[in-house]
């Protein structure tokens, strides 16, 4: 029974999230349906991360098992055919080790958040970025972000519905940069709490507006209190860009 590893991208806008749910379409259900149409087998796929409704991916990784032995190229082509018209694409397919686990074997995850800092409404990027019409100071946001790098109790930046056993996480990188009208926030860690990236970005936006100082961000982190959160950014601008696994 071969195990397959897929790297996929998707527009999260039409979905209730990655994980299969009863209240609407999910990326997981779309993939499982495409696999069954291709192979005739009902399978359960495992993803490296459970992105929320409206969150996108450029490098999500999943795995699944088949009874039939199919070539990776055949798997990729067939799934991309059967995924239509859903905005999900298989970028790469490979036969994985029998014990490979997309979620538990991951040693790092990277996210990018896009902010378009302009007054005119979004057209091409509607649903794919967060539009902020007031001027933002990317340098101040980056300076504030450094207070969050390292190992901390991220209770303030954790959803009330987060199911993680501990609020302790090690944030390896949180960078803010500007390229023209677009601000990019890069976040890297082994794993994240539910809504952690969106909560950090929303709070940094307040710094960019001049409503908060970098010291206010440090104080909010130290408070370990969700009520001290500045703002939760919308899902539109968030992308899971990369999942890292140990080198074999």
Please give the positions annotated as active site: 52
- Could you say which DSSP state residue 51 is in? P
Cα(225)–Cα(107) distance, rounded to whole angstroms? 28
User: Mapping DSSP to helix (H, G, I), strand (E, B) and coil, where does residue 47 land?
Assistant: strand
**What is the Cα–Cα distance from 215 to 158, expressed in whole angstroms?**
19
Q: Which helix (H) or strand (E) holds 216?
A: helix 214-223
Distance, CA of 197 to CA of 242 (rounded, Å): 14
User: Are the C-beta atoms of 225 and 165 separated by less than 8 Å?
Assistant: no
Paired strand residues for 8:
60, 90
Q: Residue 52 phi/psi, 5° resolution?
A: -80, 175
The CA distances from residue 109 to 33, 58, 188, 189, 197, in Å, are: 26, 12, 6, 6, 12
**What is each CA distance from 11 to 36, 51, 125, 127, in whole angstroms?**
22, 11, 12, 9
Query: How many residues comprise the chain?
Result: 248
Q: Are strands 238-244 and 56-65 parallel, antiparallel or unpaired?
A: parallel
């Amino acid at each position: 029974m071969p195990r397959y590893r897929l790297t996929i991208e998707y527009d999260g806008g039409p979905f209730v999230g990655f994980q299969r749910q009863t209240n609407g379409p999910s990326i997981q259900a779309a993939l499982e349906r495409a696999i069954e149409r291709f192979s005739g087998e009902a399978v359960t796929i495992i993803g490296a991360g459970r992105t929320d409704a409206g969150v996108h991916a450029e490098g999500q990784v999943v795995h699944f098992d088949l009874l039939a032995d199919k070539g990776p190229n055949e798997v990729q082509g067939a799934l991309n055919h059967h995924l239509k018209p859903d905005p999900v694409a298989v970028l790469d397919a490979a036969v994985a080790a029998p014990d490979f686990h997309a979620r538990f074997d991951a040693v790092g995850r990277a996210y990018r958040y896009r902010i378009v800092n302009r007054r005119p409404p979004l057209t091409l990027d509607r649903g794919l970025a967060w539009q902020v019409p007031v001027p933002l100071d990317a340098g101040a946001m980056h300076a504030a972000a450094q207070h969050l790098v390292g190992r901390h109790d991220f209770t303030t930046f954790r959803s009330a519905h987060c199911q993680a056993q501990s609020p302790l996480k090690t944030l390896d990188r949180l960078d803010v940069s500007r390229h023209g009208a677009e601000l990019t926030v890069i976040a890297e860690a082994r794993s994240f709490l539910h809504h952690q990236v969106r909560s950090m970005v929303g709070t940094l936006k307040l710094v960019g507006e001049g409503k908060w100082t970098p010291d206010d961000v440090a104080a909010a982190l130290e408070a370990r209190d969700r009520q001290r959160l500045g703002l939760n950014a919308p899902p539109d601008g968030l992308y899971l860009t990369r999942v890292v696994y140990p080198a074999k």
